[in-house]
Chains A and B, each alone.
Chain A
């Protein structure tokens, strides 16, 4: 059974940093592209970033370019999102999702709240 378990969310002040992690199991992680999608409270879904299977290609939504970095460790079956210079508008549940073009499986999400 595919499992994606996010962690690392929490309350952070504007301008602060957080690192989200996603532990993957139940599939061959190294052969899957991976994605982060977020959902602000009461709002719709927004794609944030994705990364190819080997980490060679990374794409970001414009609003996070230069502030967020997606990475992966295939040896540890893990996906990461380093978030710097956080803003109030980054407040959302962040989902780890497998496959970048078809968004196959989703984790339960981790809540990031940016507030002073």
Chain B
């Protein structure tokens, strides 16, 4: 199985400051169809997960442009340019390239 390793586990951030979450996979996530199925999700307290980014860097409709995704192969990053109070929660990466699909362990974002 592909292991997805997220860091840090916990990320205290000052409002208005940037934040960055790393996600590394144990195998390349480039699919034979040419796509890289690396996705990012936000889960606010008490809510279902919500997709933010798919295929590494494509931002979902309605997601603020302060969120961005980047990376390739086995090394990926989610960046928030200026953290707002509503960004508090857990963030997960997920690979959709190899069966079984696997998630990172999650990063808890909180305000300092």
Contact = CB atoms under 8 A, between A and B. Distances in A.
Contacts of A37: 49
Interface in B24-73: 31, 35, 37, 39, 41, 48-51, 54-55
Nearest to B47: A108
Nearest to B37: A101
A45 B100 contact: no
Q: Could you say which interface size class chain B belongs to?
A: 20 to 34
B103 A100 contact: no
B49 A101 contact: no
A44 B92 contact: yes
A59 interface: yes
Nearest to B54: A102
Nearest to A60: B100
A14 interface: no
A32 interface: no
Interface of A: 35, 37, 44-47, 50, 59-62, 95, 100-109
Interface of B: 31, 35, 37, 39, 41, 48-51, 54-55, 90, 92, 94, 96-97, 99-106
14 contacts: A44-B104, A44-B105, A45-B94, A47-B94, A47-B100, A61-B100, A101-B37, A101-B96, A101-B101, A102-B54, A106-B48, A106-B50, A107-B48, A109-B48
